[in-house]
Chain A
């Protein structure tokens, strides 16, 4: 178990280093110069040169790269070129907004997904099961930016119930969280349903029923525990894609999160912020993957022994 964890950590560090390298050189391949972006195309060449020197962009790419790596290990990504704050600060303030959104969406997906999946599995092929199946297919194939716009149209424009954008009030979080939750919700729902259907015919479930246990206890305890493994794995891995989907949802609802920070920073050629965003997000993914793998080993005795 310890060796497994150490090996995983080593690979993770390597991946993070790779991501940092790719983002560093990729950003410098993009057309457009941050200094010219800042001062406008007609700016005095001397002023542009001075600004480039201030940003440290006059050095050769290799020197810049080494400098960048040295500072990155201490979480120092330099100053933002346009927002007058350090990139690290910007990422962390925006990350809390994204984390709140992702956590809310994750909670919605898990709670509703488990509830609907269990209900659907107790009566396979029943009316409810069919309705849920169709809905889950729909939510998985609808583009989330469009779902978000439709929610705004219905709940803000027509019904005037919820604010259409921003992060001012708790009510403002409802629509973005629901939009973000829908794809994951249908994944959880399908997993819970098919997982339960698989185990409900197992001998130990029959035994539990024969003992006279209530249906709630049979399904909610005996059967549920054994279908948790795939659900935990996938739900964990999908938590990562929640952060990805957040980019789009944040744009639709003008949510001040890290996804929007990153797309804006890419557009503005704000190197330090892009680098900080990508590396932070990559680190989060790596940690999530690691936790899921370790959790998986703990949950499944077969894997535990083979490790």
Chain B
């Protein structure tokens, strides 16, 4: 639908705010700028690892019981003592469940959904993109037009519709979000494939009698992998926000499994009496998404400075 402006439209909005534009040639090691760049890589990685660890072992240490209720512990502010003497560091919700284990459980669900979505959308998108880029012709025209059309619609609206049709379950959230994200992977894979398939080393392989599969596997795939990883990092933030939004609209994760979105939705009804229920999971989510965003931008700048302008 938008062949002319698409390149501009897609290249620019995600462009990193490049504060270090003047230092493209890389100042010597040990300068403040270098150090800052290193921090921009390692701080987000550290935070993300902490989240993953909390999501994996948190629910094991602090058991979260989705159906437990405790009337005396309802709506306690952060730092209160519960009836059984334990400390509710982040407060309790409307039925007296401790928020901290709930949020850690939410981290587990959100990160798992995000990873599964990116895996599924990445594999399907890459396969379609490579197919289109390698074959060209009518297959390419049809599939890429489909991707264009889909990208022209706002993904959250599409996700709301697909999620409503599929019904709410963890698997369906992954499916929904994969359906809305595959074109992004397909586009990058296709562009990269087209750029690689006629390079000298690919031609050399063909001259030596290599078949299409061999060329794709050994020449195209390695070139496609690294930009796809970068895109996946950038998309992780969007996918997790989309999952939370769907769960907030009660179209995503079903109520029995706490996710950040469902906890925030619960807290919305208790804003007047218990601000922490909606606020804290949102902050936790925001920190994660910001870290993923910074990491994605940083990886993109490192892997290929031209990617953002393409």
Contacts and interface: CB of A to CB of B under 8 A. Distances in A.
A230 interface: yes
Contacts of B167: 30-31
B133 interface: no
30 contacts: A26-B165, A30-B165, A30-B167, A124-B21, A136-B17, A137-B17, A138-B290, A141-B241, A141-B289, A145-B244, A145-B245, A146-B286, A149-B264, A149-B267, A153-B278, A157-B275, A230-B9, A237-B2, A237-B152, A240-B153, A244-B154, A247-B160, A248-B156, A259-B157, A266-B161, A278-B161, A282-B153, A292-B2, A292-B5, A293-B5
B30 interface: no
B164 interface: yes
A241 interface: yes
A262 B164 CA distance: 11
Contacts of A229: 8
Consensus secondary structure, chain B interface: helix
B278 A191 contact: no
Contacts of A234: 8-9, 12-13
Q: Which size bracket describes the interface of A in this complex? A: 35 or more
A261 interface: no
B165 A153 contact: no
Contacts of B160: 247, 262-263, 266
Interface string A9-36: 0011001001000010011011100000
A146 B290 CA distance: 14
A145 B248 contact: yes
A11 B1 contact: yes
Given A149-B268, A149-B271, A141 B156 contact: no
Given A143-B282, A289-B152, 4 more contacts: A146-B264, A197-B21, A285-B153, A292-B5
Nearest to B250: A267
A245 interface: yes
A260 to B, nearest CB: 10
Given A125-B19, A240-B152, A157 B272 contact: yes
Interface of B: 1-2, 4-5, 8-9, 12-13, 15, 17-19, 21-22, 149, 152-157, 160-161, 164-165, 167, 237, 241, 244-245, 248-249, 251, 261, 264, 267-268, 271-272, 275, 278-279, 282, 285-286, 289-290, 292-294
Nearest to B22: A125
